[in-house]
A and B are shown apart, each in its own frame.
Chain A
């Protein structure tokens, strides 16, 4: 009995040891925006808010690493990897929120909400973006980048295969580009850096300032949605930068959002010129089909409601909103378009639920699950219609290859979709308890769970602490794809229960 207790303590010490790398990494992330002080010297007063927690985090992580047992994560029990992933995210959010708290513009709850929104790439904000410092703005964007690419993935790029593989899978990544995880992680990070650099250059060409360009490139690729302007991308309207530049900015953003929402492996197929494999991939088909169906409806809605005056602007804005929704970015070019969406509300809501590809920076149910759901429903209907002697080979196309769908896969898929919807409804119920209109709470809860960050009324800078905590929980659950949070809580609960039983028996 003593051995069991000892091994459980040893396991949690190993977990603590694995967190040391995260604490060091978050410390380093806090120091990155300080480079801006070289360009904006009047923001030197921001130095202590970032340098102090940054250096102390690195030092604390270093000390934990030195004093924690050097055990391998291979020996952890079932679902312990989920516990590590959840703890990594919670610790990252707690430490990452310190600069917000130190700068004095945020309460504890607001700081946690803003950091969670950043790391989970949701894009909700309580920051007065046009009256805050450049350092804070870049820090928010970096939160999107590191949270979007995946904290574990970044850790994996500097750690070993053995350490990272379990966590890599547990964080929701289903793909390995190359046999080596270390190599895969570095390749993925390089792909994203390439997107960000290209996006920044294009934005600058189309008339954005270098600072805004960098921030929007990071946030678009991360499918986050933080902006440096109140009107989001809509700020760079035709009247400000000209029609051509405005459309150029929209097209660049659409491209970046799509690239960010594509599965890492699918991106690689595309850039290696394997177009047949890329276009036959089930997720690509779902995304293309959804965009093709939803765009005309949204364009008609924009024209019908008078939100857009010309057909050209309705088309460009329509495509932009649809892509922004399906990639779960949440950028807008038309203010309050969801609130006035009328007949387009259902397609917009469905786009939001579908989300991007699995193993990408986007949220939602994920296109792979939707593809499997459609196939499962199709085969089930066919089996009911056709004679029993006709059997169907249930398969799905993954990266150009046919993969069999088992009954177990289907059941798991149904269960995931059901759990996702249940949590969304429960979130809406919790929000409505704070006096919000249920319709608004319903949309905003699902928008949060899908990490989109579009609100039709409940998310304001004046919202209560209770509402912010509900959103914080929904953002984490949505980003970690529901099950990890449930499994981790179950594991921790069981371990605490076992510990109490052992103490009592003594």
Chain B
């Protein structure tokens, strides 16, 4: 049922006045050309049909039908310029009235069906576009941003996502929705007084977030809700896909790092090996021949040992630095 609007009513009345003037003008001209009064009633019936199509209002149709019948009687039924015609005319008028009402009901129902079909077609088109769009969006933040936009367009209302539900600033309804993994808010069993509706976002039987839809300006139809649920599933899949992509990237990064560290240690070990070996040999040689060597030779060997130790210390420092970077 459409809400009452003064602007719409004035517009409808204006439409009726224009249709009334045009129909009466046409009837008058036809009457001058000797068209009989019964045929003129058909023109008025046509006028009523246009009134029904244009105004879609039962009350205005009833009012217009009465006005059109009275005008027809007044202008074109003998005696002219007076009401109350023949018996035939009264029967015709009653039939006219009933036909107008039946047509009105049919037209209003048909138009409501058409409106509903158009809305469904719009919803499915949006759903299709959103699903297609989600395939081409990459990055969790981008997916959420796109989903926000797509859901807003689909619902025709403001939409918000909540993933970090444990935060203290979130309201009770969001927390309840997240905890129980069930819908709540506007016209639901829990928190029905709220203007927002809260729907859980589920992934692998686990609630990962909550989406809030503002229902203060427009009621959400069941078809819209179904489409939103369907889109939410798509969004969840897209988010999961992005999570998996992130995890794989993280794993790849760790593996890569381990590989680098192993490679570095290997190369450092290879680099250290000659120095350690040299120190070991020099130390052994010094220990065995210390009494046979002259002081200058001892000093030379000690200098060699010192140089090798310094080189070793430098390599070890590098290794420590590498560990620090991690």
In the complex, are the beta carbons of B22 and A58 less than 8 A apart? yes
In the complex, the answer to whether B32 meets A48 with C-beta atoms within 8 Å is yes
Choose among A47, A58, A59, A62 the residue that contacts B29 (Cβ–Cβ < 8 A): A47
Residues of A with C-beta under 8 A to B189 = none
State whether the Cβ of B33 lies closer than 8 Å to any Cβ in chain A: yes
Contact A48 B29 (CB under 8 A): yes
Which residues in A have their C-beta under 8 angstroms from that of B23?
55
| Chain B residues near A59 (CB-CB < 8 A) | 22, 46
In the complex, B191 has a CB within 8 A of chain A: no
B: interface residue count bin: 10 to 19
Contacts A48-B33, A55-B22 given; does A62 touch B50 at CB 8 Å: yes
Q: Say whether A51 contacts B50, CB under 8 Å.
A: no
Closest to A45 in B: B32
Q: Does A290 reach chain B (CB closer than 8 Å)?
A: no
A52 CA / B22 CA spacing, docked (Å): 10
Which chain A residue shows the least CB distance to B54?
Answer: A62
- Measured between beta carbons, the chain A residues less than 8 angstroms from B26 are 51-52, 55-56
Residues of A contacting B29 in the complex (Cβ-Cβ under 8 angstroms)? 47-48, 51-52, 55
Whether the Cβ atoms of A55 and B25 lie closer than 8 Å is yes
User: What total of A-B pairs shows CB separation below 8 Å?
Assistant: 25
In the complex, which residues of chain A have a beta carbon less than 8 angstroms from the beta carbon of B50?
62
The digit string for A45-78, where 1 denotes a CB below 8 A from any CB of B, is 0011001101110110010001000000000000
Query: Which residues of the other chain, B, contact A54 by a CB distance below 8 angstroms?
Result: 25
- Answer whether residue B146 sits at the interface, using C-beta atoms and an 8 A cutoff: no
- Which of B29, B32, B46, B53 gathers the greatest number of chain A CB atoms within 10 Å? B29
Q: How near does chain B come to A140, taking the closest CB pair, in angstroms?
A: 21
A135 to B62, CA, bound (A): 37
User: Nearest Cβ in chain B — how far from A100, in angstroms?
Assistant: 17
Q: A51 to chain B: closest CB distance in Å?
A: 5
Which chain B residues lie closer than 8 Å to A58 at the CB level? 22
Chain A stretch 201-219: residues in CB contact (< 8 A) with chain B: none
A48-B28 Cα distance, complex, nearest whole Å: 9
Residue of B with least CB distance to A56: B26
**Which residues of the partner chain A approach B28 to less than 8 Å between Cβ atoms?**
47, 51
Bound-state Cα–Cα, A221 to B32, Å:
38
Nearest B residue to A44 by beta-carbon distance?
A: B32
List of B residues within 8 angstroms of A31 by Cβ: 25
Chain B, residues 14-41, CB within 8 Å of chain A (1/0): the string is 0000000011011011001100000000
* A46 vs chain B, min Cβ distance (A): 11
B296: shortest Cβ distance to chain A, in Å? 88
Which residues of the partner chain B approach A55 to less than 8 Å between Cβ atoms?
22-23, 25-26, 29
Residues in B whose Cβ lies below 8 Å from that of A62: 50
B68 to A: closest C-beta gap in Å: 15
Cα separation A267 to B53 with both chains bound (whole Å) = 42
B33 contacts across to A, CB distance below 8 A: 48
A54 to B33, CA, bound (A): 16
B75 CB to closest chain A CB, in angstroms? Answer: 14
- Please list 6 pairs of residues, one from A and one from B, whose beta carbons are closer than 8 Å in the complex, sorted by A's number: A31-B25, A47-B28, A51-B29, A52-B26, A62-B50, A66-B53
Besides A31-B25, A51-B26, A55-B22, 17 other CB < 8 A contacts?
A47-B28, A47-B32, A48-B29, A48-B33, A51-B28, A51-B29, A52-B26, A52-B29, A54-B25, A55-B23, A55-B26, A55-B29, A56-B26, A58-B22, A59-B22, A59-B46, A66-B53
5 smallest beta-carbon distances between A and B, as pairs: A55-B26, A48-B29, A51-B29, A51-B25, A55-B22
